[in-house]
Amino acid sequence: MREKVQRLGQNARSYDTIFVRLLHGRVTLAMRIGILTGGGDCPGLNAVIRAVVRKGVLHYDDELVGFMEGWRGVLENKTMVLDYEAISGILPRGGTILRTSRTNPSKREGGLERCMETLKHNKLDALIAIGGDDTNSVGQKLFEQGINVVGVPKTIDNDLSGTDFCFGFDTAVNTAMDAIDRLHTTAEAHQRVMVVEVMGRDAGWIAMYSGIAGGADVILIPEKPFDIEEVAERIRLRHARGRYFSIIVVAEGAKFATDVDSSQGAPVVTEMGKDEFGHVRLGGVGQVLAREIERRTGLETRYVVLGHIQRGGSPSAFDRVLASRYGIGAIDMVHRGEFGCMVALRGNEIVSVPLTEAINKNRLVDPALVDVALGMSEPLKGDKK
Ligand code: F6P
């Protein structure tokens, strides 16, 4: 028994608060663990929080401290108690009970030091940071300073390396697919071309999945800059076959390869400056595309920007399960002392990967998926067989 207690004590690099308790006849190393949700929200955040708290409280006898509004809560020591009561009924709720922000402590004077002081002040043994590449990059910086950080991959964009899927993506895809289904009927009734602009930043995952699932005629993604004349030609060929409406799904980060206007070779952006992680606000490609399609084909064309609708609402069953698996995976990693790592999905296994692997580069759309989409669209003369 004494040996086991000593081993548990060594595994946790605690500040000064390791509680060794007897729970249900088992020796457990109870810890104080912080949790935060950072960056853009997505469905499933509450499901992760719930899983962490349930396993922490019920199985490890942990105390959980929630930091409000992402890294801002750590900078300013804004906390909430995350006990069993606090998480009641949150599984189906979108958003996050901890709220979120795009605050970047490393862009603030003494920001990382302030974060470390807050964590010490709260006597935390570890911190679980739920977020995308930005949130996890701050987690890695704090880990390098000796903080016990575990990351959880969240983003509707599905662009984090190291994992096969981020939670939130499946719900966003289903929302976009539902919108595309609805747009089909109005496009058909009016014999129009409908352009649907979806989110995804520099990766085309949402566009590709929702486009294939929704039966789009053309799917445009950031990974493959598009020739506007080729897009127009695919639509012309389809209509020459007797179809009288078309659906184009375009990712917000998609780029014109040819000279259309100032957007040539770069994504279309909304002129609103950059966020604290240096990201421009994307948006507007759908409008430019609709104008060009109408001008080149003579077909009446409309555009729709789905925007933040894709981030809202209740998580799908897939996301609830994945988020719960990630929550359990993360708290187990904390208790195994696997810090500086992110919980991840590889195949159907929950594994742990170094945070550096997750944040070093964006995961882009698999070319095999592009071939699936091209295999179902009008072939052009230059297309490979
Ligand atoms: O990263 C998620 C995401 O929804 C992107 O798809 C989109 O470009 C961005 O966030 C929008 O950010 P904001 O909510 O700050 O407008």
40 lines ligand 1 (CB under 6 A): yes
pLDDT computed for residue 259 by the predictor: 62
Cα 104 to middle of ligand 1, angstroms: 15
Helix axes 228-240, 285-297, angle to 10 degrees: 50
Whose Cα sits closest to atom 15 in ligand 1? 40
156 lines ligand 1 (CB under 6 A): yes
Q: Which positions are annotated as active-site residues?
A: 157
Whose Cα sits closest to atom 8 in ligand 1? 201
Residue linked to tokens 């662009």: 159
For residue 156, give the ligand 1 atom closest to its CA. 2
pLDDT computed for residue 18 by the predictor: 53
pLDDT digits 0-9 by tens, 232-282: 999 999 999 999 999 999 999 999 987 665 555 788 887 778 999 999 999
Q: 93, 44 in Cβ contact below 8 A?
A: no
**Ligand 1 mutation pick, 280, 311, 363, max ligand atoms within 8 A of CB:** 311
154 lines ligand 1 (CB under 6 A): no
Task: Write out the chain's pLDDT in tens, 385 residues.
Answer: 444 444 444 444 444 445 566 666 666 689 999 999 999 999 999 999 999 999 999 999 999 999 999 999 999 999 999 999 999 999 999 999 999 999 999 999 999 999 999 999 999 999 999 999 999 999 999 999 999 999 999 999 999 999 999 999 999 999 999 999 999 999 999 999 999 999 999 999 999 999 999 999 999 999 999 999 999 999 999 999 999 999 999 999 999 987 665 555 788 887 778 999 999 999 999 999 999 999 999 999 999 999 999 999 999 999 999 999 999 999 999 999 999 999 999 999 999 999 999 999 999 999 999 999 999 999 888 776 6
Whose Cα sits closest to atom 13 in ligand 1? 40
Whose Cα sits closest to atom 10 in ligand 1? 40
Cα 176 to middle of ligand 1, angstroms: 15
pLDDT computed for residue 272 by the predictor: 75
For residue 102, give the ligand 1 atom closest to its CA. 15
Q: 362, 202 in Cβ contact below 8 A?
A: yes
8 lines ligand 1 (CB under 6 A): no
Q: 311, 156 in Cβ contact below 8 A?
A: yes
pLDDT computed for residue 4 by the predictor: 42
Cα 177 to middle of ligand 1, angstroms: 18
282 lines ligand 1 (CB under 6 A): yes
Q: 379, 356 in Cβ contact below 8 A?
A: no
Helix, strand, or coil (residue 182): helix
Cα 325 to middle of ligand 1, angstroms: 25
pLDDT computed for residue 5 by the predictor: 43
264-270, long-range: CB < 8 A, 24+ apart: 265/225, 267/202, 267/222
Cα 40 to middle of ligand 1, angstroms: 6
For residue 311, give the ligand 1 atom closest to its CA. 4
Helix axes 317-336, 169-190, angle to 10 degrees: 160
Cα 292 to middle of ligand 1, angstroms: 26
Angle at CA 95, nearest 5°, toward 91 and 100?
A: 125
**Angstrom distance (rounded) from CA 168 to CA 180:** 19
**Ligand 1 mutation pick, 201, 279, 309, max ligand atoms within 8 A of CB:** 201
For residue 39, give the ligand 1 atom closest to its CA. 1
Q: b vs e for 84-117, b when ≥16 Cβ sit within 10 Å of the residue's Cβ? A: eebbeebbebbbbbbbbbbbbbeebeebbebbbe
Q: Which structure tokens are listed for 128? A: 């679980």
Residue 35 amino acid letter: I
Angle at CA 166, nearest 5°, toward 164 and 170?
A: 100
Cα 132 to middle of ligand 1, angstroms: 11
pTM for the complete prediction? 0.92
Task: Give the DSSP H or E segment for 287.
Answer: helix 285-297
**Ligand 1 mutation pick, 101, 133, 156, 363, max ligand atoms within 8 A of CB:** 156
